[in-house]
Chain A
């Protein structure tokens, strides 16, 4: 018998027993939907974490005074960094692309009646090398402006939006707290930063200006080091550590009184964690897919018993065993493939519903969709085969007599 006929028979039989068919496929639908949803959301979460980390800059080391997260409670306050530290880092460490000091303050920016509270970042032009910033208009600082601590600034897009309604800002003069300041450049939008901050809500000024007019000290609270792509961040980090220990007179065996935060390392750790979680959840979902397959086998077996007379009729009118086997097999495969397709559909709906809740971006992962569907088809073949063989082996006389 041609395969097309088998298909006709299988589809007819599925259509005639809608409820039974639906219940048979339910396991597959749930299994496929669960696997695809979990993996897609897991991927989206990983991507979101990676994006947040990379917003901090790739191959960037952040150096702060103190022992870092959750360590070194009491004791004297560790010394801040100063301009000589920056010089030393730039000169004495190989593999350093750029070193940008940072001194921060908060101030209200005012322009033509509009006001906006923002963060002022005092730094040098190196800041734009360390991190991937783009100017939409204007220029960076001139050497004189940096050296003299001139009252000039480059504003982020959020500030531009709030003070200038997005219009041209270069050449205008704004008030920043007690001082007035010339806008010499505007920055392109970078978007949400990692861990909740808006990176575009910033005003960048020469560090001297900020130290003199806002913080009132020479202290540097944060150093950003851009590491050359060709160098191992780990090695550069160790050289920096050695240099700083030396400069800060830390005895061997004593703890650092500064901390170096490697964004890449954090990124790898977090990505590893989310990947692990994704695979655990996907495995659980995969098990449910197998359970779904066993469900198919179970219901197909019941259906063989239930349909014994039908099989008897088919055999009596001249179906050979192979044809009965094929019909049951095709039924199982069609059911599981149908279940697979519905499962994929449900998964897309579930992902669409969950993506906004989880605040991640939907990334379609073709591999998992294809794999989940392929598995559902294979389940159809494997778990459909045994009931089908049993149906085909029936004796027509016994089958016909069956009530």
Chain B
């Protein structure tokens, strides 16, 4: 059922921070294929290179060595602005710390990526409201982050990430700041988006309960992929 050609493909990717004697190799040769439409959980001990990998996959950073194919195109050698345009066009981000603009309404936060795409006011408002509706916060559109709970803020952040209909949603510990009840809600939302909209979801998590929502689980250890568990989603049997 999965796309035969992977949407993301890493080969021999290394990442070294710093230079000389203080240099530290955070990734030591990662090979990883991610199929379009998959829901992937990335797990592993702290410091094993999960975030480093996510930053590279999210085109926020470049590998020191190795190749990174996105939809069959090499992106490891793209410059800053080209990567920015790639993020704008194909990627959505959700962060552990929500990272919403303060003193800015939920709708304006969600509209932000559309602004950079040059969409007009009406389109921005329509698409923004549609995205807020998908995360169940349409009624809260004019509230600022300070007026929203943590779970609501993360859902606004998800709305912002999906408002441009990206191919891939990258979430680095999206439930790290939430209690388990809110975490489950976020997971259900991500599952729903993955299934209904076909968005490829890449998520880093520490908690097996959260990883259980994913179809594929990638285990990292010491800067390498240790093991990949492919399985059916827990929710699929219920549905």
Please list the 9 inter-chain residue pairs (A to B) with the smallest Cβ-Cβ separation, ordered nearest first.
A318-B88, A320-B84, A318-B87, A16-B103, A320-B81, A317-B113, A313-B99, A396-B60, A5-B115
In the complex the two chains form, is B60's CB within 8 Å of A397's CB? yes
User: B46 at interface (Cβ–Cβ under 8 A)?
Assistant: no
A selection of 26 A-B contacts at a CB cut-off of 8 Å is A1-B115, A12-B108, A16-B103, A17-B103, A313-B99, A313-B100, A314-B112, A314-B116, A316-B58, A316-B87, A317-B87, A317-B113, A317-B116, A317-B160, A318-B84, A318-B88, A318-B91, A318-B113, A318-B116, A318-B117, A320-B81, A321-B80, A321-B84, A322-B81, A323-B116, A397-B55
User: B93 at interface (Cβ–Cβ under 8 A)?
Assistant: yes
In the complex the two chains form, is B112's CB within 8 Å of A317's CB? yes
User: B89 at interface (Cβ–Cβ under 8 A)?
Assistant: yes
Residue of B nearest to A17 (CB): B103
In the complex the two chains form, is B89's CB within 8 Å of A318's CB? yes
User: B222 at interface (Cβ–Cβ under 8 A)?
Assistant: no
B115 to chain A, nearest CB (A): 5
In the complex the two chains form, is A319's CB within 8 Å of B116's CB? yes
User: B20 at interface (Cβ–Cβ under 8 A)?
Assistant: no
Contacts of B80 in A (CB 8 A): 320-321
Residue of A nearest to B100 (CB): A313
A320 to B115, CA, bound (A): 12
User: B18 at interface (Cβ–Cβ under 8 A)?
Assistant: no
A321 to B88, CA, bound (A): 13
User: B101 at interface (Cβ–Cβ under 8 A)?
Assistant: yes
Contacts of B4 in A (CB 8 A): none
A313 to chain B, nearest CB (A): 5
Contacts of B108 in A (CB 8 A): 12
Residue of B nearest to A312 (CB): B99
How many B residues, CB 8 Å from partner? 28
User: A169 at interface (Cβ–Cβ under 8 A)?
Assistant: no
Contacts of B61 in A (CB 8 A): 397
Contacts of A80 in B (CB 8 A): none
Residue of A nearest to B112 (CB): A317
User: B70 at interface (Cβ–Cβ under 8 A)?
Assistant: no
User: B149 at interface (Cβ–Cβ under 8 A)?
Assistant: no
User: B85 at interface (Cβ–Cβ under 8 A)?
Assistant: yes
- Are A321 and B118 also in contact (CB < 8 A) when A12-B108, A309-B99 are? no
Choose among A8, A313, A321 the residue that contacts B115 (Cβ–Cβ < 8 A). A8
A19 to B114, CA, bound (A): 28
Choose among B93, B101, B118 the residue that contacts A316 (Cβ–Cβ < 8 A). B93
B residues adjacent to A (C-beta < 8 A): 55, 58, 60-61, 80-81, 84-85, 87-89, 91-93, 95, 99-101, 103-104, 108, 112-113, 115-118, 160
Q: Which of A201-252 contact B (CB under 8 A)?
A: none
A105 to chain B, nearest CB (A): 80
A317 to B87, CA, bound (A): 6
Contacts of B101 in A (CB 8 A): 310, 313
A97 to B84, CA, bound (A): 83
A267 to chain B, nearest CB (A): 60
Contacts of B115 in A (CB 8 A): 1, 5, 8-9
Most A CB within 10 A of own CB, among B55, B99, B115: B115
B179 to chain A, nearest CB (A): 22
A314-B112, A318-B84 given; 17 more Cβ-contact pairs under 8 Å? A1-B115, A2-B118, A5-B116, A9-B115, A12-B104, A16-B104, A313-B101, A315-B84, A316-B99, A317-B113, A318-B85, A318-B89, A318-B91, A320-B81, A321-B81, A397-B55, A400-B95
- Are A400 and B103 also in contact (CB < 8 A) when A2-B118, A315-B84, A317-B160 are? no
Contacts of B92 in A (CB 8 A): 317
In the complex the two chains form, is B99's CB within 8 Å of A319's CB? no
Q: Which of A289-316 contact B (CB under 8 A)?
A: 309-310, 312-316
A313 to B102, CA, bound (A): 11
Contacts of A397 in B (CB 8 A): 55, 60-61
Residue of A nearest to B93 (CB): A316
Contacts of A322 in B (CB 8 A): 81
Residue of B nearest to A322 (CB): B81
Q: Which of A352-383 contact B (CB under 8 A)?
A: none
B238 to chain A, nearest CB (A): 34
A2 to B104, CA, bound (A): 21
A386 to B89, CA, bound (A): 29
Contacts of A2 in B (CB 8 A): 118
A314 to B60, CA, bound (A): 12
A320 to B61, CA, bound (A): 14
Residue of A nearest to B80 (CB): A321
B54 to chain A, nearest CB (A): 10
Choose among A1, A9, A400 the residue that contacts B99 (Cβ–Cβ < 8 A). A400
Residue of B nearest to A401 (CB): B97
